[in-house]
Protein backbone atom coordinates (compact mmCIF):
# COMPACT_ATOMS: atom_id res chain seq x y z
CA UNK A 1 0.00 0.00 0.00
CA UNK A 2 1.96 2.99 -1.31
CA UNK A 3 1.66 6.15 0.80
CA UNK A 4 2.92 9.75 0.71
CA UNK A 5 3.70 11.75 3.82
CA UNK A 6 5.16 15.18 4.52
CA UNK A 7 8.92 14.76 5.01
CA UNK A 8 9.57 18.35 6.04
CA UNK A 9 7.78 21.67 6.17
CA UNK A 10 8.39 23.49 2.85
CA UNK A 11 10.28 26.78 2.77
CA UNK A 12 8.85 28.97 0.03
CA UNK A 13 7.87 27.02 -3.06
CA UNK A 14 7.51 23.31 -2.11
CA UNK A 15 9.60 20.73 -3.95
CA UNK A 16 9.73 16.96 -4.28
CA UNK A 17 12.09 16.59 -1.31
CA UNK A 18 9.32 17.80 0.99
CA UNK A 19 7.45 14.55 0.30
CA UNK A 20 8.24 11.03 1.36
CA UNK A 21 7.07 7.87 -0.43
CA UNK A 22 6.73 4.78 1.73
CA UNK A 23 5.16 1.33 1.66
CA UNK A 24 2.46 0.92 4.33
CA UNK A 25 0.49 -2.11 5.41
CA UNK A 26 -2.73 -3.05 3.66
CA UNK A 27 -5.53 -1.84 5.95
CA UNK A 28 -7.77 -4.26 7.85
CA UNK A 29 -11.28 -2.98 8.62
CA UNK A 30 -13.00 -3.58 11.93
CA UNK A 31 -16.78 -3.73 12.28
CA UNK A 32 -18.39 -0.58 10.84
CA UNK A 33 -15.42 0.15 8.56
CA UNK A 34 -14.67 -0.34 4.88
CA UNK A 35 -11.52 -0.47 2.73
CA UNK A 36 -11.50 2.10 -0.07
CA UNK A 37 -9.32 1.79 -3.17
CA UNK A 38 -8.24 5.27 -4.29
CA UNK A 39 -9.38 6.11 -7.83
CA UNK A 40 -9.10 9.92 -8.03
CA UNK A 41 -7.38 12.20 -5.62
CA UNK A 42 -7.63 15.97 -5.40
CA UNK A 43 -4.67 18.31 -5.01
CA UNK A 44 -5.69 21.78 -3.81
CA UNK A 45 -3.95 25.09 -3.10
CA UNK A 46 -5.19 25.11 0.54
CA UNK A 47 -2.95 22.09 1.21
CA UNK A 48 0.04 24.42 1.05
CA UNK A 49 -1.25 26.14 4.19
CA UNK A 50 -1.62 22.82 5.99
CA UNK A 51 2.04 22.05 5.32
CA UNK A 52 2.98 24.91 7.66
CA UNK A 53 2.79 24.49 11.41
CA UNK A 54 0.42 27.42 11.81
CA UNK A 55 -3.07 27.83 13.20
CA UNK A 56 -5.74 28.10 10.51
CA UNK A 57 -9.25 26.90 9.74
CA UNK A 58 -7.83 23.39 9.13
CA UNK A 59 -5.25 21.61 11.28
CA UNK A 60 -1.66 21.39 9.98
CA UNK A 61 -0.38 18.13 8.49
CA UNK A 62 1.90 16.27 10.88
CA UNK A 63 5.37 15.31 9.70
CA UNK A 64 5.71 11.69 8.56
CA UNK A 65 1.97 11.14 8.63
CA UNK A 66 0.07 10.35 5.44
CA UNK A 67 -1.20 13.54 3.80
CA UNK A 68 -4.99 13.75 3.57
CA UNK A 69 -7.40 15.39 1.15
CA UNK A 70 -10.41 14.76 -1.03
CA UNK A 71 -10.46 11.24 -2.50
CA UNK A 72 -12.91 9.34 -4.68
CA UNK A 73 -12.60 5.60 -4.38
CA UNK A 74 -14.26 2.25 -4.64
CA UNK A 75 -15.24 0.11 -1.68
CA UNK A 76 -13.27 -3.14 -2.07
CA UNK A 77 -14.05 -4.67 1.32
CA UNK A 78 -16.94 -3.82 3.64
CA UNK A 79 -17.62 -4.53 7.28
CA UNK A 80 -20.33 -1.88 7.34
CA UNK A 81 -24.03 -2.39 6.68
CA UNK A 82 -24.10 0.99 4.91
CA UNK A 83 -21.69 0.23 2.05
CA UNK A 84 -21.20 -2.67 -0.31
CA UNK A 85 -18.24 -3.72 -2.39
CA UNK A 86 -18.27 -1.78 -5.64
CA UNK A 87 -19.83 1.39 -4.16
CA UNK A 88 -18.15 4.60 -5.32
CA UNK A 89 -17.54 6.92 -2.37
CA UNK A 90 -16.00 10.30 -1.53
CA UNK A 91 -14.26 11.36 1.66
CA UNK A 92 -11.25 13.06 3.19
CA UNK A 93 -8.76 10.21 2.95
CA UNK A 94 -5.03 9.72 2.63
CA UNK A 95 -2.57 10.04 -0.24
CA UNK A 96 -2.36 6.26 -0.41
CA UNK A 97 -3.59 3.46 -2.63
CA UNK A 98 -5.94 1.95 -0.04
CA UNK A 99 -7.57 3.57 3.00
CA UNK A 100 -9.67 2.26 5.84
CA UNK A 101 -12.58 4.48 6.85
CA UNK A 102 -15.68 4.32 8.99
CA UNK A 103 -19.02 4.61 7.23
CA UNK A 104 -19.58 8.06 8.77
CA UNK A 105 -16.49 9.44 7.00
CA UNK A 106 -17.79 8.54 3.54
CA UNK A 107 -20.58 9.58 1.22
CA UNK A 108 -21.79 7.41 -1.66
CA UNK A 109 -21.81 9.02 -5.09
CA UNK A 110 -23.96 8.05 -8.04
CA UNK A 111 -21.69 7.15 -10.99
CA UNK A 112 -24.65 7.51 -13.39
CA UNK A 113 -25.25 11.17 -12.57
CA UNK A 114 -21.99 12.61 -13.94
CA UNK A 115 -18.38 11.36 -14.29
CA UNK A 116 -17.26 10.45 -10.77
CA UNK A 117 -14.29 12.84 -10.88
CA UNK A 118 -16.66 15.86 -11.04
CA UNK A 119 -17.39 15.35 -7.34
CA UNK A 120 -13.90 16.69 -6.63
CA UNK A 121 -14.39 19.64 -9.01
CA UNK A 122 -17.44 21.29 -10.51
CA UNK A 123 -19.90 19.34 -8.35
CA UNK A 124 -17.60 19.23 -5.31
CA UNK A 125 -15.80 21.63 -3.00
CA UNK A 126 -14.48 23.99 -5.74
CA UNK A 127 -17.90 24.22 -7.43
CA UNK A 128 -19.61 24.94 -4.11
CA UNK A 129 -16.97 27.58 -3.35
CA UNK A 130 -17.68 29.30 -6.66
CA UNK A 131 -21.44 29.13 -6.30
CA UNK A 132 -21.74 30.21 -2.68
CA UNK A 133 -18.95 32.79 -2.66
CA UNK A 134 -20.29 34.46 -5.78
CA UNK A 135 -24.00 34.37 -4.95
CA UNK A 136 -23.85 34.92 -1.17
CA UNK A 137 -21.18 37.64 -1.15
CA UNK A 138 -20.72 38.88 -4.74
CA UNK A 139 -24.46 39.00 -5.55
CA UNK A 140 -23.98 39.86 -9.23
CA UNK A 141 -26.84 41.67 -10.94
CA UNK A 142 -27.74 41.71 -14.61
CA UNK A 143 -25.47 44.04 -16.57
CA UNK A 144 -22.88 44.37 -13.82
CA UNK A 145 -19.21 43.64 -14.42
CA UNK A 146 -17.69 40.67 -12.59
CA UNK A 147 -13.92 40.21 -12.60
CA UNK A 148 -12.49 36.87 -11.49
CA UNK A 149 -8.81 36.11 -10.90
CA UNK A 150 -7.48 32.56 -11.20
CA UNK A 151 -10.19 32.47 -13.84
CA UNK A 152 -9.31 29.22 -15.63
CA UNK A 153 -8.91 27.15 -12.46
CA UNK A 154 -11.34 24.90 -10.63
CA UNK A 155 -13.12 27.69 -8.73
CA UNK A 156 -12.61 30.60 -11.15
CA UNK A 157 -13.92 28.84 -14.26
CA UNK A 158 -17.20 28.08 -12.47
CA UNK A 159 -17.49 31.58 -10.95
CA UNK A 160 -17.33 33.17 -14.41
CA UNK A 161 -19.96 30.87 -15.87
CA UNK A 162 -22.38 31.38 -12.97
CA UNK A 163 -21.90 35.14 -13.29
CA UNK A 164 -22.79 34.84 -17.00
CA UNK A 165 -25.88 32.80 -16.10
CA UNK A 166 -26.90 35.79 -13.95
CA UNK A 167 -26.52 38.19 -16.85
CA UNK A 168 -23.24 39.83 -15.82
CA UNK A 169 -20.40 40.97 -18.05
CA UNK A 170 -17.51 38.68 -17.09
CA UNK A 171 -13.79 39.40 -17.26
CA UNK A 172 -11.23 36.73 -16.39
CA UNK A 173 -7.58 37.02 -15.39
CA UNK A 174 -5.33 34.01 -16.04
CA UNK A 175 -1.72 33.13 -16.78
CA UNK A 176 -1.45 31.36 -20.17
CA UNK A 177 -2.72 32.00 -23.71
CA UNK A 178 -4.39 28.57 -23.73
CA UNK A 179 -6.39 29.63 -20.67
CA UNK A 180 -7.31 32.99 -22.21
CA UNK A 181 -8.51 31.20 -25.34
CA UNK A 182 -10.55 28.75 -23.22
CA UNK A 183 -12.21 31.57 -21.25
CA UNK A 184 -13.14 33.55 -24.36
CA UNK A 185 -14.00 30.79 -26.81
CA UNK A 186 -15.25 27.91 -24.66
CA UNK A 187 -16.77 29.57 -21.61
CA UNK A 188 -18.01 32.75 -23.30
CA UNK A 189 -16.28 35.27 -21.03
CA UNK A 190 -16.62 38.82 -22.39
CA UNK A 191 -12.94 39.61 -21.97
CA UNK A 192 -9.83 37.96 -20.54
CA UNK A 193 -6.39 39.26 -19.65
CA UNK A 194 -3.11 37.35 -19.36
CA UNK A 195 -1.43 38.74 -16.24
CA UNK A 196 1.88 37.09 -17.12
CA UNK A 197 2.36 38.56 -20.62
CA UNK A 198 0.72 41.98 -20.25
CA UNK A 199 3.01 44.98 -19.95
CA UNK A 200 0.37 46.96 -18.08
CA UNK A 201 -2.26 44.89 -16.29
CA UNK A 202 -4.08 47.89 -14.86
CA UNK A 203 -4.39 49.45 -18.31
CA UNK A 204 -5.58 46.22 -19.95
CA UNK A 205 -8.13 45.68 -17.19
CA UNK A 206 -9.42 49.21 -17.60
CA UNK A 207 -9.97 48.50 -21.32
CA UNK A 208 -11.70 45.22 -20.47
CA UNK A 209 -13.98 46.90 -17.89
CA UNK A 210 -15.24 50.14 -19.46
CA UNK A 211 -17.97 50.37 -16.81
CA UNK A 212 -15.72 49.59 -13.86
CA UNK A 213 -15.93 46.53 -11.58
CA UNK A 214 -18.99 45.64 -9.49
CA UNK A 215 -17.84 42.24 -8.22
CA UNK A 216 -14.24 41.11 -7.85
CA UNK A 217 -14.05 37.40 -7.00
CA UNK A 218 -10.46 37.12 -5.85
CA UNK A 219 -8.59 33.82 -5.93
CA UNK A 220 -5.03 35.12 -6.09
CA UNK A 221 -4.41 38.41 -4.23
CA UNK A 222 -1.06 40.17 -4.71
CA UNK A 223 -0.22 42.36 -7.68
CA UNK A 224 -3.09 41.04 -9.78
CA UNK A 225 -5.54 42.34 -7.19
CA UNK A 226 -3.63 45.61 -6.81
CA UNK A 227 -4.51 46.22 -10.47
CA UNK A 228 -8.23 45.53 -9.97
CA UNK A 229 -8.94 47.71 -6.91
CA UNK A 230 -8.68 51.11 -8.66
CA UNK A 231 -11.55 50.01 -10.93
CA UNK A 232 -14.03 49.29 -8.12
CA UNK A 233 -17.44 50.90 -8.59
CA UNK A 234 -19.51 52.35 -5.78
CA UNK A 235 -20.81 49.55 -3.55
CA UNK A 236 -18.69 46.89 -5.28
CA UNK A 237 -18.42 43.51 -3.53
CA UNK A 238 -15.27 41.44 -3.14
CA UNK A 239 -15.62 37.76 -2.21
CA UNK A 240 -12.08 37.14 -0.90
CA UNK A 241 -11.74 33.45 -1.73
CA UNK A 242 -8.00 32.83 -2.00
CA UNK A 243 -4.59 34.46 -2.18
CA UNK A 244 -2.48 31.85 -3.94
CA UNK A 245 0.14 34.43 -4.95
CA UNK A 246 1.15 34.67 -1.29
CA UNK A 247 1.09 30.99 -0.27
CA UNK A 248 4.78 30.43 -1.05
CA UNK A 249 5.99 33.88 -0.01
CA UNK A 250 8.78 33.87 2.54
CA UNK A 251 8.92 36.72 5.00
CA UNK A 252 6.53 39.63 5.01
CA UNK A 253 4.40 40.42 2.01
CA UNK A 254 3.75 44.00 0.95
CA UNK A 255 0.36 45.46 0.19
CA UNK A 256 -2.40 45.23 -0.78
CA UNK A 257 -2.89 48.98 -0.59
CA UNK A 258 -6.62 48.69 -0.91
CA UNK A 259 -7.91 51.00 1.80
CA UNK A 260 -8.30 54.24 -0.16
CA UNK A 261 -10.15 52.37 -2.92
CA UNK A 262 -12.49 50.80 -0.39
CA UNK A 263 -13.32 54.17 1.07
CA UNK A 264 -13.84 55.83 -2.31
CA UNK A 265 -16.05 53.03 -3.60
CA UNK A 266 -17.78 51.96 -0.35
CA UNK A 267 -16.93 48.47 -1.55
CA UNK A 268 -17.63 45.43 0.60
CA UNK A 269 -14.85 42.87 1.02
CA UNK A 270 -15.69 39.61 2.70
CA UNK A 271 -13.33 36.76 3.24
CA UNK A 272 -14.95 33.33 3.41
CA UNK A 273 -14.36 29.66 3.83
CA UNK A 274 -16.79 27.55 1.84
CA UNK A 275 -17.69 25.57 4.98
CA UNK A 276 -19.37 28.74 6.35
CA UNK A 277 -22.20 27.77 4.02
CA UNK A 278 -22.40 24.06 4.85
CA UNK A 279 -26.16 24.25 5.38
CA UNK A 280 -26.55 25.32 1.72
CA UNK A 281 -24.33 22.63 0.15
CA UNK A 282 -27.28 20.42 -0.81
CA UNK A 283 -29.18 23.17 -2.59
CA UNK A 284 -26.02 24.49 -4.28
CA UNK A 285 -24.95 21.03 -5.49
CA UNK A 286 -28.43 20.42 -6.91
CA UNK A 287 -28.33 23.66 -8.89
CA UNK A 288 -24.79 22.96 -10.17
CA UNK A 289 -25.87 19.45 -11.21
CA UNK A 290 -28.91 20.85 -13.00
CA UNK A 291 -26.84 23.41 -14.94
CA UNK A 292 -24.34 20.69 -15.83
CA UNK A 293 -27.06 18.34 -17.09
CA UNK A 294 -28.67 21.14 -19.12
CA UNK A 295 -25.33 22.00 -20.74
CA UNK A 296 -25.24 25.43 -19.09
CA UNK A 297 -22.04 24.74 -17.18
CA UNK A 298 -18.81 23.43 -18.67
CA UNK A 299 -15.79 22.13 -16.85
CA UNK A 300 -12.25 21.05 -17.57
CA UNK A 301 -10.05 18.68 -15.63
CA UNK A 302 -6.30 18.30 -15.83
CA UNK A 303 -5.78 14.67 -14.91
CA UNK A 304 -2.27 13.60 -13.94
CA UNK A 305 -1.89 9.81 -14.08
CA UNK A 306 -0.17 7.66 -11.50
CA UNK A 307 0.31 7.59 -7.73
CA UNK A 308 3.98 8.58 -8.01
CA UNK A 309 2.97 11.86 -9.70
CA UNK A 310 0.81 13.18 -6.83
CA UNK A 311 3.48 15.62 -5.53
CA UNK A 312 4.14 16.86 -9.08
CA UNK A 313 0.44 17.49 -9.60
CA UNK A 314 0.32 19.50 -6.37
CA UNK A 315 3.40 21.51 -7.34
CA UNK A 316 1.82 22.19 -10.76
CA UNK A 317 -0.91 24.27 -9.07
CA UNK A 318 1.70 26.93 -8.30
CA UNK A 319 3.01 26.90 -11.88
CA UNK A 320 -0.47 27.17 -13.38
CA UNK A 321 -0.15 23.85 -15.19
CA UNK A 322 -3.84 23.04 -14.69
CA UNK A 323 -6.82 24.11 -16.79
CA UNK A 324 -9.88 23.59 -14.60
CA UNK A 325 -9.60 21.15 -11.72
CA UNK A 326 -6.25 19.45 -11.07
CA UNK A 327 -6.77 15.76 -10.25
CA UNK A 328 -4.64 12.66 -9.98
CA UNK A 329 -5.94 9.38 -11.40
CA UNK A 330 -4.52 6.65 -9.21
CA UNK A 331 -6.36 3.55 -10.45
CA UNK A 332 -9.12 2.31 -12.75
CA UNK A 333 -12.40 1.38 -11.04
In the complex, the residues that contact ligand NDP under the rule CB under 6 A are 44-46, 126, 129, 150, 152-156, 174-176, 179, 219-220, 222, 224, 241-245, 272-274, 317-318, 320, 322, 326
**Phi and psi of 253, rounded to 5°?**
-90, 155
Return the number of the residue (3 or 129) whose C-beta is nearest ligand NDP.
129
**Is the previous residue joined to 256 through a cis bond, with omega within 30 degrees of 0?**
yes
Q: Tell me the closest approach of the beta carbon of residue 126 to ligand NDP, in angstroms.
A: 5
Return the number of the residue (4 or 152) whose C-beta is nearest ligand NDP.
152
* 29 exposure class (CB count in 10 Å sphere: 0-12, 13-18, 19+): middle
Collapsing DSSP to helix, strand or coil, 56 comes out as coil
Whole-Å CA distances, 76 to 58, 80, 99: 29, 12, 10
Q: Tell me the closest approach of the beta carbon of residue 321 to ligand NDP, in angstroms.
A: 7
Q: How far apart are CA 150 and CA 228, in angstroms?
A: 13
Return the number of the residue (69 or 153) whose C-beta is nearest ligand NDP.
153
Q: Are 220 and 246 in contact (CB under 8 A)?
A: no
Q: Tell me the closest approach of the beta carbon of residue 300 to ligand NDP, in angstroms.
A: 10
Whole-Å CA distances, 134 to 49, 63, 185: 23, 36, 22
Return the number of the residue (155 or 168) whose C-beta is nearest ligand NDP.
155
Q: Tell me the closest approach of the beta carbon of residue 132 to ligand NDP, in angstroms.
A: 9
Return the number of the residue (48 or 169) whose C-beta is nearest ligand NDP.
48
Q: Tell me the closest approach of the beta carbon of residue 231 to ligand NDP, in angstroms.
A: 18
Amino acid sequence: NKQISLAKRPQGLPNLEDFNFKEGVFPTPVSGEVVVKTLYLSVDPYMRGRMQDAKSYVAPYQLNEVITGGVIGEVVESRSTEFQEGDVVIGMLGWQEYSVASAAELRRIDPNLAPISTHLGVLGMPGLTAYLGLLEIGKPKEGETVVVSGAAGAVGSIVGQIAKLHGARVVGIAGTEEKIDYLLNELGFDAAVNYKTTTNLRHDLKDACPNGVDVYFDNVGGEVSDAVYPLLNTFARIPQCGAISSYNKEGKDVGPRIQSYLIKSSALVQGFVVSNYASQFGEAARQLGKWLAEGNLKYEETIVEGFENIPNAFLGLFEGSNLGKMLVKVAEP
